[in-house]
Amino acid sequence: MDGCKVFSIDQSKVTFLCGEPLRMTIARLILLSGISLLLGLVGCQIRPFQTVALHDDPSRLVRLEVNPTVGRSHSHPADITTDEMAAVLSGVMIEESRSMSPLPSRHPAFDPTEVSFFAPLFAQGLRVATSEEIVTFTQTTKQTAIINTVHKVTSGGIFIDGNELHFVLGNYRSPTNYASDPGIGATLDGRSAPLKPIAPQQPKLDFEPATAIAPSREGIWEKLLRPERSEIVVLFKRLTSTQSDGDYKSN
């Protein structure tokens, strides 16, 4: 039986496929295999990160999150107090060039009210996080314009490696209606991916006092290979605070 292939053997019965049936069967098998592989890849891509909410309201979200983009072997649970966390947040500085703004080009990333709100939540999260988890946050504010109301997002993440606290800024007052791609960017609000920039206007991060900034340990190749992000690394145990933990209470 020239041109024929054995397709199946059922005890004493042998089934042969020849010519067009053979080609159609092979094509179906290839198609089914390709669909299975595609569904597997899509399932891996859309699988959500594991999260545990520490605070969640319409304007603010603080949670523990497994985010492999910043690694999975952090020094958590961490020994950090609310005072130390407040000192870190008070020292984070923003540098941006804006022609029309009531704020100077260099100013604190968090005002005193925000420090009082976030410090106990961040410290609590770092004290209970596993080595795979980081603390992420999202804050949405409204800015009323002449025509409409603009929602702006500040978001990011915090984790500790050794004696170094990493503060990653995903967004700083980024407008949620920014649309790099029509129908896609307009739906982003920073809550689902707090480390991912919504708009390409990220300001420069700095810290005061500068003596608390950790020296960079990354070589040139490590900097090139790791995902680009706005980040400041602080030796938080060097910071001192004049207030006790009881002075900061989450809302």
Residues 60 and 157 in one domain: yes
How many C-alpha atoms does 149 have within 13 Å on its Cβ side?
4
Residues 41 and 70 in one domain: no
Q: How far apart are CA 216 and CA 197, in angstroms?
A: 23
Q: How many domains does the chain have?
A: 2
List the pLDDT tens digit at each of the 251 positions of the chain: 555 555 454 555 545 455 555 556 565 656 555 555 555 544 444 344 678 999 999 999 999 999 988 988 999 999 999 999 999 999 999 998 765 566 678 999 999 999 999 999 999 999 999 999 999 999 999 877 677 778 899 999 999 999 999 999 999 988 886 544 544 444 467 788 999 988 776 788 999 999 999 998 765 555 555 556 799 999 999 886 434 444 544 44
Instruction: State residue 78's pLDDT score.
Output: 96
Residues 33 and 118 in one domain: no
Residues 149 and 73 in one domain: yes
Residues 56 and 40 in one domain: no
The amino acid at 80:
I
Instruction: State residue 44's pLDDT score.
Output: 43
Residues 186 and 89 in one domain: yes
Q: List C-alpha distances in Å: 138 to 55, 154, 183, 251.
A: 10, 6, 22, 15
Instruction: State residue 54's pLDDT score.
Output: 97
- What is the percent of the chain where pLDDT is above 70? 62
Q: How far apart are CA 163 and CA 129, in angstroms?
A: 16
Which domain does 19 fall in, by range? 4-46
Residues 34 and 119 in one domain: no
Residues 59 and 30 in one domain: no
Instruction: State residue 186's pLDDT score.
Output: 44
Classify the C-alpha dihedral 5-8-12-18 as positive or negative.
Answer: negative
Residues 217 and 135 in one domain: yes
Residues 125 and 74 in one domain: yes
In sequence order, the β-bridge partners of residue 13 are 10
Selection from 20, 131, 140 nearest residue 78 by Cα: 131
Residues 89 and 37 in one domain: no
Instruction: State residue 151's pLDDT score.
Output: 85
Residues 136 and 58 in one domain: yes
